[in-house]
Structure 1
């Protein structure tokens, strides 16, 4: 039997390399010009089939970070205002003109304690906001949940006792809670960590 005859039904199929055929030519059933199979290649996955590690912060999370620093700035202004109120009440209380006014002295005693409490709370809330704002890049899911709780409490405090000056706090806090709580925030704070990220 000879394989040299093209019309031989028992011969080698057309396109299949035979003995003496040069290497590099496509085999039987293989498309011309495409090496290997015709399936598209999938993007590489991380370790153990996980999604690739996020190295850049998503836009909504970046926005939440900026809004958090705006809240820190507003907190600094609030601490300064409360500090000035404490100082003003102290000076007015020791004033010779108002020393004889029992109504003012009673008001000063009651209001100075309230203003001092508000000042201490504002300083504590400022430190808490700074710690959260600094941890946006390296924080995990615990930081994300703490940020959402912080934002919700800030929004509530902006509505109830400080409605006039707290409205901006409320809007910013709601936006932070939404941006940190959405899918992008979850992906960023739950990402697997590599060194430097």
Structure 2
């Protein structure tokens, strides 16, 4: 008659220890050292240096701010010329022409406000890439989508803005971009 095994979690009776079950422990991301450091050859869980795609997205934000600044200069010059034309209109100018000039001035003022908002957002987001969290990442993705949609309204001229907006979305949304913006800040 066999006696019950006094250790139900050990090897079965009559079997030598070390046979039958794997004896190795799975690797721990916290390391096998007493201090809990990283194991040699293990990848770092969070990047310590800004990834290349995130750096490229940051540069693209500043490039878009510069291009928008150039567009702002042209919009202000256009507003000045339309204002001058409406001021110098003769008494024979029809009311439809005056209405068109006033609508043109209002449209140019709206365009100038949108351009100033885009310049401010691009500079602010680009400046926050070094220490920003997931809010900066989400804001950058929203900026990229808005930039792409607005640039589609002026498609032949806004092609550079369209391409840069899509690239910003892609570079910030990749895994290394997500890891960069979700890293712990001490």
TM-score normalised by structure 2 residue count: 0.73
Name the counterpart of 1:3: none
How many angstroms does 1:51 deviate by? Answer: 4.3
Matches of 1:121 and 1:61 in 2, distance apart? 25
> Are residue 61 (structure 1) and residue 54 (structure 2) matched?
yes
**CA apart distance, 1:54:** 2.9
Whether the 8 Å contact between 1:99 and 1:105 is mirrored in structure 2 is no
Structure 2 residue 138 is the aligned partner of structure 1 residue 145: yes
Q: CA deviation at 1:120?
A: 1.0
Give matches, 1:1-197, under 5 Å. Answer: 44-45=37-38, 51=44, 54-95=47-88, 98=90, 100-102=92-94, 103-159=96-152, 161-194=153-186
Larger Rg over CA atoms: 1
CA contact (8 A) 2:46 2:179 kept: no
1:4 counterpart residue number: none
Between the two proteins, the alignment pairs up a number of residues equal to: 149
- Name stretches of at least 5 consecutive residues in structure 1 with no aligned partner: 1-40
Residue deviations 1:120-177 (CA, integer Å, cap 9, x gap): 1111121111111111111101110110111011111111x21122111010000000
Q: Which segments of structure 1 move beyond 4 Å, counting only runs of 4 or more?
A: 50-53
Q: Distance in 2 between matches of 1:150 and 1:42?
A: 44
The answer (yes or no) to whether the contact 2:57–2:172 under 8 Å persists in 1 is: yes
CA–CA distance in structure 2, aligned partners of residues 166 and 42 of structure 1:
55
Shift of 1:42: 6.4
Specify every segment of 5 or more residues in structure 2 that has no aligned partner in the other structure, as ranges.
1-30
Q: Distance in 1 between matches of 2:144 and 2:49?
A: 23
**2:86–2:101 contact (8 Å) kept in structure 1:** yes
Distance 2:118 2:57 in 1: 17
SS across alignment from 1:187: helix
